[in-house]
Amino acid sequence: MSKQSFTLTNNQTKQSYEYPILEGTRGPSVLDLRSFFKDSGLFTYDPGYTSTASCTSTVTFIDGAKGELRYRGVPIETLATEHSYMETCYLLLTGELPDKDTLQDFDLEIRHRAFLHEGLRHLFAAFPDNAHPMATLSAAVTALSTFYDDHKSCQDDAGYQEMARRIISKIPTIAAFSYRHSLGIPFIQPDIDLGFTKNFLTMMRAYPGGKMHLCATGHEEIKEVEVRALDTIFTLHADHEQNASTTVVRGVASTGAHPYVAISSGISALWGRAHGGANESVIAQLELIGSVDKVEAFIERAKDPDDDFRLMGFGHRVYKNFDPRAKILKGLQDELRVELNLNTELMAIARKIEEIALNDDYFISRNLYPNIDFYTGIILTALQIPKSMFTPIFVIGRTVGWITQWIEFKKDETSKIARPRQLYRGK
Ligand code: CMC
């Protein structure tokens, strides 16, 4: 056995077991306990997987203490400021940033694949008015698997790429249709003349025929700063290693189900307010607070152990320092405030919460900083996107990460069906 090992001793039997320590390229080393049960007859206990590495990965790296995030080794700050979401998708899928020609081909392919099979359109009619777009989105992605049954058995790189590019392209269309169905307004088809992000905003906002709102000065065009802001939000959401929804996607992958069904399960997992649903809850909470003078009372509630009220958009399982995505978005929020001339009460309430919480011992001692969702809610509101679409926007950004992790799981020869054990304390 190598020197890099860890010995565990059972104090009842006095028996010792030695396990190898595995080294990563970054981050903490990992104790390889795969044979622990076979050796000792004991299980390890780790609810919420706070000390467990569930896989080997080369996709995303987070250092929560430093507040560092990298996709395929590239710092998130570089991607958010120097590259587009399309480039980020290509990077995640292939491991390399594309050159100019490769990017152009990739971008064109994504544009052309954005249309939905006409049969799928009918599915939306089955949902009641006001159906939450997340529920419709998850159902429609499961339904999408029925149109591409072959993807269940894809095994080579060409097959993986076609399957992945198809879902990345179609997710914004499904999300926009889910939203428009919830309002009972006609769908807007994708426009191949438009890039990924502008196309999505158009499918959300346009009138039939693809024209924007008409005002005294003509049609209100989508502003470049809005496209850039949303594109950055997509990039910041693109992957986040083994979070709750990605773990669900890998878990479904482990059973051999269709990849789009795994994505649909990821969408359901993301919806909860402890995860991606937090962005919608942040705005609901700011609206509940209502005015700057009420902020302090709500902060007191968040600190009260007998009150289950939590400050939405604060805290993170991994980041015990400022979430680097939140730092980028804070800058973007300030930029938008100037460029779109925004100074809303919601922004003022958010600023007050931030100011108090960042200086309060309760939050400081628990390392509770604003996370990505604290700022996305505010920025998306500034982009006139309704609350119910905040988490679907997270889905659009994250689909590339989920599908990349799905492919990685499939290619990994050590992958096994996800099947944890339990500490039984029943009758
Ligand atoms: N407001 C007030 N107190 C909090 C908050 C909060 N938002 N978050 C954590 N705490 C307290 C918690 O009560 C506990 O205190 P104590 O030690 O006195 O019992 C301590 O901080 C540790 O909390 P925890 O629940 O053990 O931490 P966790 O790592 O299990 O949970 C979290 C992480 C994100 C679920 C949690 O911080 C939370 O519920 N935050 C609000 C929801 C939110 O913003 N979620 C979005 C996460 S970022 C997007 C994503 O990647 O999904």
The CB of 396 under 6 Å from ligand 1? The reply is: no
What is the predicted pLDDT for the residue at 355?
93
What is the predicted pLDDT for the residue at 226?
92
CA angle 109, 259, 387 (to 5 degrees): 75
Nearest residue (by CA) to ligand 1, atom 10, is 315
Structure tokens at 313: 């958009």
Q: Tell me the CA–centroid distance for residue 154 and ligand 1, in Å.
A: 39
Residue 7 phi/psi, 5-degree rounding, is -105, 130
What is the predicted pLDDT for the residue at 403?
98
Q: Tell me the CA–centroid distance for residue 354 and ligand 1, in Å.
A: 16
Best substitution site from 281, 283, 285, 314 to test ligand 1's pocket, by max atoms within 8 Å of Cβ? Answer: 314
**Packing angle of the helix pair 259-271, 390-411 (nearest 10 deg):** 140
User: Contacts from 47-56 at CB under 8 Å and sequence distance 24+?
Assistant: 48/317, 49/242, 49/247, 50/317, 53/242, 54/242, 54/247, 54/250, 54/418, 55/242, 55/250, 55/408, 55/409, 55/412, 55/415, 56/412, 56/414
* Distance, CA of 328 to CA of 371 (rounded, Å): 11
Nearest residue (by CA) to ligand 1, atom 50, is 275
* Distance, CA of 184 to CA of 206 (rounded, Å): 14
Contacting residues for 38 by C-beta, under 8 A, at least 6 apart? none
Which domains are seen in the chain, by residue range? Answer: 1-44 (2.20.28.60)
The CB of 240 under 6 Å from ligand 1? The reply is: yes
Best substitution site from 371, 376, 378, 390 to test ligand 1's pocket, by max atoms within 8 Å of Cβ? Answer: 371
Q: Mind listing the pLDDT tens digit for each residue in 359-374?
A: 999 999 999 999 998 9
Q: Tell me the CA–centroid distance for residue 177 and ligand 1, in Å.
A: 33
Name which of 68, 120, 33 is nearest 420 in CA terms.
33
* Distance, CA of 165 to CA of 189 (rounded, Å): 18
Show the low-confidence residues of the chain (pLDDT under 50).
none
Catalytic residue positions, numbered: 316, 373
Is residue 249 within 8 A of residue 265, CB to CB? The reply is yes
What is the predicted pLDDT for the residue at 322?
84
The CB of 317 under 6 Å from ligand 1? The reply is: yes
Q: Mind listing the pLDDT tens digit for each residue in 124-152?
A: 999 998 899 999 999 999 999 999 999 99
Longest dimension (CA), the chain: 84
HEC string for the chain = CCCCEEEEECCCCCCEEEEEEECCCCCCCEECCCCHHHHHCCCCCCHHHCCCCCCCCCCEEEECCCCEEEECCEEHHHHHHHCCHHHHHHHHHHCCCCCHHHHHHHHHHHHHCCCCCHHHHHHHCCCCCCCCHHHHHHHHHHHHHCCCHHHHHCCCHHHHHHHHHHHHHHHHHHHHHHHHHHHCCCCCCCCCCCCHHHHHHHHHHCCCCCCCCEECCEECCCCHHHHHHHHHHHHHHCCCCCCHHHHHHHHHHCCCCCHHHHHHHHHHHHHCCCCCCHHHHHHHHHHHHCCHHHHHHHHHHHHCCCCCCCCCCECCCCCCCCCHHHHHHHHHHHHHHHHCCCCCHHHHHHHHHHHHHCCCHHHHHCCCCECHHHHHHHHHHHCCCCHHHHHHHHHHHHHHHHHHHHHHHHHCCCCCCCCCCCCCCCC
What is the predicted pLDDT for the residue at 117?
95
Q: For 176, what's the count of Cα atoms within 13 Å in the CB-facing half-sphere?
A: 26
Q: Mind listing the pLDDT tens digit for each residue in 304-318?
A: 999 999 999 999 988
Q: What ligand 1 atom has the least distance to the C-alpha of 323? A: 48
What is the predicted pLDDT for the residue at 130?
87
What is the predicted pLDDT for the residue at 2?
52
